Amino acid sequence: MTDEQYRRWLRNDMARRTVLLEIDTDPVRRLSVVPYTTLPDDDTPNIRYDALIKGGVGYDETLSIDDNSRASYANIDLHNEDGALDAWAGDVWQNREIRVYFGDVTWARDDYRLVAQGVVERCEQSRDTFSIHLIDAMARLDNAVTETLLGGAGRDADRLMPVALGECHNVAPRLYANGTHTYRWHGGTVERLIEVRDRGVPVSYTASGGQFSLLVDPDGEITASVQGDADGGYVNTVSALVQRLATAYGPAASRFTSDDLDAVNLSAFNSAHPQPVGLYLLDHATVQACIVELASSLGAQAIMSRIGKLRLLRVELPAPGVPVVIQPSDYEQGSLEIAGLSTVIAGVRLGYCRQWTPRQNIAEGIPTEHRDLYAQEWLTVTATAPSVASEYKISTETEQVNTLLLTKTDAQAEATRRLALWSVPRTIVTVRGYAHLLDLELGQPATVYGSRFGLDAGKTGQIVGLKPDWVAGRCDVEVLL
């Protein structure tokens, strides 16, 4: 089936829409809304899908306007009035992959489209219903970045091996060997050891990979500025480091492969956002949390597409791309509503160029300006709009938001961008769209027309929320204007 044939089918009011569900439990569960068996000439011939799905199959995905990444999720209820599924509660469901396919009851299995993919978060049971809770595959990355211990004969032998990603200033390495004054700051191939300091004073050393040995006895706290992980090549941008973390860190069984990445999106994001960043880990951190921190440095969010591809999206107006047009004929009459309003701000303060070992005991003789820099954990930039503050009777002062950006130029540009976006009131409108809107994507631009809320001539914004229900043939669409 071609894409054009599929789009025509979506617009067909006579279509007999259904979903097929596949869950990688042991044994594999194949479920449907109505009885369905694959054809003899399908790739998987003569396979039965049990008609157990109760009601619709919805999905909820959000591009948050507060920059906090949120998992996409779905709840799927199964008929269990006769208790036939009671024994399922004893099976292992957590983190098992689940796939949702959408099509027509008259179609061959090979013509069904994969419309959602994730993992099972948990299952619940009531007297009449067995419920499966699906979340997106980012849950696979909720594991420790590393469990490798430093080793050696130093005091830190039983502590985690540090991880350095991108460029990091004044990090605290771990002591690996007392006798040789050997320290380690990364466990793999690295790009560069920029400088080693003792109480802020540069000292001589010999280096090999992610470790170095001092040539003299240390006088105080040892720190270093570094360019980290270079396995597969050194990278220091948000998109590249997100991909590196997802595919090379955490337990091997839970890592993403290239098939789990939206290569087009991530490449485009990398080209548009080459700002250098750096992240240094001394203690426990999850891959997912590190990815979120990196993305948020540029006001972006790491989001899984419905079909399980990792993407980087951010709220921005105008949004990149050609807007999809949503007319009143595309949604149910009376469904156009206000879903939310933004909070107007008059100032942004960002932290950048993190100093990873602040408040050191600095040696005498260090110039005052350098001593002051060593005392600060973050350098800061601000962007303010005094006229907005006056009009809305609010302050230009605001809580500092820290980033992993390295340069003042990049931090200032990001602060200015955020201020421009949120120093004017924004509205989120929602409509309940017909089936042909089921293929809309989070983050894409949209022009919405309607008879209310000043939309007679249309307004262009960005899609920030989607709630498709494939069985019902409807999609709730939220657009930030």
Most confident stretch, 68-77, 110-119, 159-168: 159-168
Residue with the larger pLDDT of the pair 466 and 67: 466
Q: In what order do the strands lie in the sheet with 182-184?
A: 174-177, 182-184, 211-214, 205-208
Q: How confident is the model at residue 433 (pLDDT cuts 50, 70, 90)?
A: very high
* Cα–Cα distance measured from residue 44 to residue 123, given in angstroms and rounded to the nearest whole number: 27
Q: pTM to 2 decimals?
A: 0.92
Q: Which helix (H) or strand (E) is 419 found in, with range?
A: helix 408-422
Kindly report, residue by residue over 88-141, the tens digit of the pLDDT: 988 898 889 999 999 999 999 999 999 999 899 899 999 999 999 988 889 899
Return the higher-pLDDT residue of 422 and 137. 422
Rounded to whole angstroms, the Cα distance separating 388 from 345 reads: 8
Beta strand 427-433 with 474-480 is: antiparallel
Cβ atoms of 17 and 104 within 8 Å: the answer is yes
| Single-letter amino acid code for the residue at 415 | A
Lowest-confidence pick of 115-119, 266-270, 392-396: 115-119
Confidence of residue 281 (pLDDT cuts 50, 70, 90): very high
The reply to whether omega before 27 is within 30° of 0 (cis) is yes
Name the band, by pLDDT with cuts 50, 70 and 90, for residue 37. very high
For residue 111, give the amino acid letter. Answer: D
Amino acid letter for position 21: L
Task: Give mean pLDDT, residues 325-332.
Answer: 98
Average pLDDT, the chain: 94
Q: Give the closest residue to 243 by CA, choosing from 148, 165, 143.
A: 165
Domain boundaries, the chain: 3-135, 137-312, 324-341+426-480, 347-422
The pLDDT of 43-66, averaged and rounded, is 90
pLDDT for the residue numbered 368: 78
> Mean pLDDT, to the nearest integer, of 459-473?
94
**Cα gap 294→273, rounded to integer Å:** 12
**Nearest by Cα to 401 from 346, 349, 358, 354:** 349
Asked if pLDDT for residue 69 goes beyond 70, the answer is no
pLDDT of residue 414: 98
Mean pLDDT for 229-239 is: 98
Q: Is a pLDDT exceeding 80 seen at residue 70? A: no
Q: For the residues 430-455, what does the mean pLDDT come to? A: 96
Amino acid 358: pLDDT: 85
Cα pseudo-dihedral 46, 435, 325, 334, rounded to 10: -170
Q: How far is CA 210 from CA 173, 221, 225, 281, 296, in A?
A: 10, 18, 12, 14, 27
Cis peptide bond N-terminal to 318, omega within 30:
yes
